[in-house]
């Protein structure tokens, strides 16, 4: 269930990945960061397609994640609508364009794969590639891939599971809570 974990960032060659685990309404969150910059490199949930798992040699460092812990708690309490954290996930130029477009989708709103493709100047034929880039987002919740839905309004796939997508969209008010 985990992808090959490769270090990223300038300190990757010498410093181990730093990590912590936080409790959340979605289950335990595994966060990783570049120890040199403190930038978050991933946020994974149990059972996530392509999610990370703790590897030998990684260093547990809860203090490095204090700001993320506070902001995630405020988000899940309905008190925070925009994260202000350094994100350091790296991908291809195309993926990074898609991820930047995700960052511009506001709290409580949804968008479609086609709209994301249009935002980055990609052709209509690139919608499938956009979906692949969204599915490869290593920073669930923080980079709001849960806000992307199908053109017909359907709740399409989510690497963290559709039940978690529903919970996040309900929290943000984009979906009504079911009775």
Catalytic residues: 145
Do β-strands 111-112 and 40-44 pair in parallel, antiparallel, or remain unpaired? unpaired
Q: Which of 144, 152, 149 is closest to 168 using CA atoms?
A: 144
Question: Reduced to 3 states, what is the DSSP secondary structure of residue 104?
Answer: coil
Residue 127: which H helix or E strand, with range?
helix 127-135
State the angle between helix axes of 127-135 and 93-103 in degrees (0 to 180), rounded to the nearest 10. 80
Question: Reduced to 3 states, what is the DSSP secondary structure of residue 176?
Answer: coil
């Amino acid at each position: 269930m985990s992808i090959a974990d490769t270090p990223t960032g300038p300190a990757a060659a010498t410093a181990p990945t730093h990590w912590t685990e936080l409790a959340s309404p979605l289950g335990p969150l595994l966060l990783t960061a570049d120890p040199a910059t403190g930038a978050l490199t991933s946020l994974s949930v149990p059972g996530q397609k392509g999610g990370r798992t703790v590897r030998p040699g990684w260093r547990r460092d809860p203090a490095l994640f204090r700001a993320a812990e506070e902001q995630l708690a405020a988000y899940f309490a309905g008190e925070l609508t925009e994260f202000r954290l350094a994100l350091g996930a790296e991908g291809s130029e195309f993926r990074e364009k898609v991820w930047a477009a995700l960052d511009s989708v506001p709290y409580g709103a949804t968008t479609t794969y086609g709209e994301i493709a249009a935002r980055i100047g990609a052709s209509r034929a690139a919608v499938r590639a956009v979906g692949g880039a969204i599915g490869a987002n290593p920073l669930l919740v923080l980079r709001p891939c849960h806000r992307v839905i199908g053109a017909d309004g359907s709740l399409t796939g989510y690497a963290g599971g559709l039940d978690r997508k529903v919970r996040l969209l309900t929290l943000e008010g984009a979906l009504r809570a079911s009775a």
